[in-house]
């Protein structure tokens, strides 16, 4: 028997959870509770949207955490399986639901599914309440004077700031009156849940790195605001300091909302210095919205060059070079440290993401889509909009992207952003004994030093897989020869 509090005579309302695994600042849940009707909470295992890789593992953890949180309040997260528009419509009918609440999705599949579901439900006489929850501002709300979507971040950000703070956060409902599950609907729920996607091979460190409850997300936010916001401008580019917020996986799974982050950071900006740091941080959060705005208007963001001249780029198709990059065996210590951090933990510092992306696309002349897909498989924060937009940014193929001719030198970046090699030593243990001045260029170590520290170039650690100067020249030449280059 369920311990849920019942209201048998009133129709229930249904809340659909998708990538918003939290109770606080959840407009759909809050709206459902406000009706005063009993609530059914539902999650759909939908083959069209179910993800594998590290993100699949992470979302499954977040879903379990939500189920536990609902259970603590005396309720149940009901699991359905199948195509969302079909199974939710069928379940809602069987349960006698009169309104379905959800938070809006902006990716092509999510949008198509929700449009179809809304039509089905309304045909059945069931109302739909869709809510804004994922972003600071909905993608269509910030437009140029000409009414078109912005194509440049700085102009978009200025317009976003002019709109003032995003709406206030909603509290978690103090009490949820859960509906009992009618017998007809019970038959449609899963008794046994599908096995959660495992962590990808080698990524076991992710388990300890990413505790996964709404409270953990809040703790991460509080720690960042108290300990690191004050030096965000100075340190956010330093992988060795590791003082960015590390909120991306929590935002991705919706264990906390962007609005919650915004307000926590804005409220903490009590001095001019803090306000300056807060503004920089908020603009980074703004990039998240900007990415989702791009995906909303460019649904093929993850596979189409937004600058069509790049359709003619003569990408190399070398499985050996791609594998060396993926496995952190390129011979460039910062690139390898980043790729190994990603492999082991499902996360990588933003500065290093930019360096490895530039290295793959420019020095290895490999199609950015290879990198995008590898990140999608390995990141615990793998996000369809942020990942695709950033890859197109790094490769120079996107709108408002870093130009192709800006090619990061992985050695220079390493010297600048990991000056003592602390980050490299963490992820590339073969180089731990290397003196600071050679940690970025271990191939320059002379024979006597190598003997002294027991280092065999090419055996202990790979020699560089490409010559930076040569590869840079080829990348620039290929770009100059693109037809219709702008």
State the residues that interact with ligand FAD by CB under 6 A. 236, 244-248, 251-252, 284-285, 287-288, 291, 350, 353-354, 357, 375, 379, 381-383, 386-387, 390-391, 394
Shortest distance (Å) from residue 128 CB to ligand FAD: 28
Please give the annotated binding residues for FAD, written as ranges.
Answer: 232, 244-248, 281, 381-383
Residue (33 or 212) nearer to ligand FAD, CB: 212
Catalytic residue among 391, 393, 404, 479: 391
Is 165 an active-site residue?
A: no
Query: CB under 8 Å to 81, separation ≥6 — which residues?
Result: 44, 45, 46, 87, 190, 194
According to DSSP, the residues that pair with 16 across neighbouring strands are 42, 102
Shortest distance (Å) from residue 54 CB to ligand FAD: 11
Catalytic residue among 279, 287, 409, 430: 287
Residue (179 or 358) nearer to ligand FAD, CB: 358
Characterize 57-80 residue by residue with b for buried, 16 or more Cβ atoms within 10 angstroms of its Cβ, and e for exposed.
Answer: bbbbbbbbbbbebbeebebbbbbb
User: CA geometry: angle at 459 spanning 454 and 460, to 5°?
Assistant: 45
Helix (H, G, I), strand (E, B) or coil at 461: strand
Catalytic residue among 226, 284, 303, 443: 284
Residue (78 or 369) nearer to ligand FAD, CB: 369
Is 102 an active-site residue?
A: no
Is 409 an active-site residue?
A: no
CA separation for the pair 482, 372 (Å, rounded): 22
Query: CB under 8 Å to 129, separation ≥6 — which residues?
Result: 28, 31, 32, 99, 100, 101, 102
Q: Give the start-end residues of each E strand in 50-201.
A: 77-81, 99-103, 127-131
**How big is the chain, counted in residues?**
486
| Cα 29 from chain centroid (whole Å) | 23
CA separation for the pair 365, 476 (Å, rounded): 10
Residue (226 or 284) nearer to ligand FAD, CB: 284
Residue (28 or 354) nearer to ligand FAD, CB: 354
Is 391 an active-site residue?
A: yes
Catalytic residue among 210, 262, 347, 368: 368
Is 292 an active-site residue?
A: no
Is 479 an active-site residue?
A: no
List the catalytic residues: 284, 287, 315, 350, 368, 391
């Amino acid at each position: 028997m369920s311990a849920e509090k019942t209201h048998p005579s009133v129709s229930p309302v249904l809340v659909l959870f998708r990538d918003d695994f939290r109770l606080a600042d959840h407009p759909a849940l809050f709206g459902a509770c406000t009706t005063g009707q009993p609530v059914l909470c539902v999650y759909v295992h939908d083959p069209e949207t179910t993800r594998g890789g590290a993100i699949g593992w992470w979302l499954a953890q977040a879903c379990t955490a939500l189920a536990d949180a609902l259970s603590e309040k005396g309720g149940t997260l009901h699991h359905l399986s199948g195509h969302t528009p079909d199974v939710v419509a069928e379940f809602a009918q069987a349960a006698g639901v009169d309104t379905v609440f959800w938070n809006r999705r902006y990716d092509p599949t999510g949008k198509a599914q929700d449009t179809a579901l809304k039509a089905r439900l309304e045909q059945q006489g069931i109302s739909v309440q869709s809510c804004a929850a994922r972003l600071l501002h909905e993608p269509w709300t910030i437009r140029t004077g000409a009414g078109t979507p912005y194509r440049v971040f700085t102009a978009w950000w200025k317009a976003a700031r002019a709109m003032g703070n995003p709406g206030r956060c909603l509290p978690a409902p103090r009490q949820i009156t859960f509906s009992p599950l009618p017998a007809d609907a019970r038959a449609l729920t899963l008794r046994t849940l599908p096995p959660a996607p495992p962590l990808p091979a080698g990524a076991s460190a992710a388990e300890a790195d990413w505790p996964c409850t709404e409270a953990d997300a809040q703790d991460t936010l509080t720690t960042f605001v108290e300990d690191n916001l004050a030096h965000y401008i100075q340190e956010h580019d330093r992988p060795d300091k590791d003082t960015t917020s590390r909120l991306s996986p929590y935002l991705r799974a919706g264990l906390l909302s962007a609005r919650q982050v915004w307000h926590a950071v804005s409220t903490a900006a009590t001095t001019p210095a803090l306000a300056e740091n807060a503004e920089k941080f908020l603009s980074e959060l703004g990039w998240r919205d900007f990415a989702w705005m791009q995906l909303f208007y460019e649904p093929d963001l993850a596979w189409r060059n937004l600058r069509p001249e790049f359709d003619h780029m003569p990408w190399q198709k070398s499985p050996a070079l791609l594998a060396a990059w993926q496995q952190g065996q390129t011979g460039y210590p910062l690139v390898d440290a980043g790729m190994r951090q990603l492999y082991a933990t499902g996360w990588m510092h933003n500065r290093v993401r930019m360096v490895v992306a530039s290295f793959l696309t420019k020095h290895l002349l490999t199609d950015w889509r290879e990198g995008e897909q590898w990140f999608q498989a390995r990141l615990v924060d793998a996000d369809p909009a942020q990942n695709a937009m950033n890859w197109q940014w790094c490769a120079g193929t996107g709108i408002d992207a870093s130009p192709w001719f800006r090619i990061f030198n992985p050695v220079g970046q390493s010297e600048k952003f990991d000056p003592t090699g602390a980050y490299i030593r963490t992820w590339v243990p073969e180089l731990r004994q290397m003196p600071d001045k050679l940690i970025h260029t271990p191939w320059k170590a002379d024979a006597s030093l190598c003997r002294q520290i027991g280092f065999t170039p090419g055996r202990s650690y790979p020699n560089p897989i490409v010559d930076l100067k040569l590869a840079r020249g080829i990348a620039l030449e290929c770009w100059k020869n693109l037809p219709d280059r702008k």
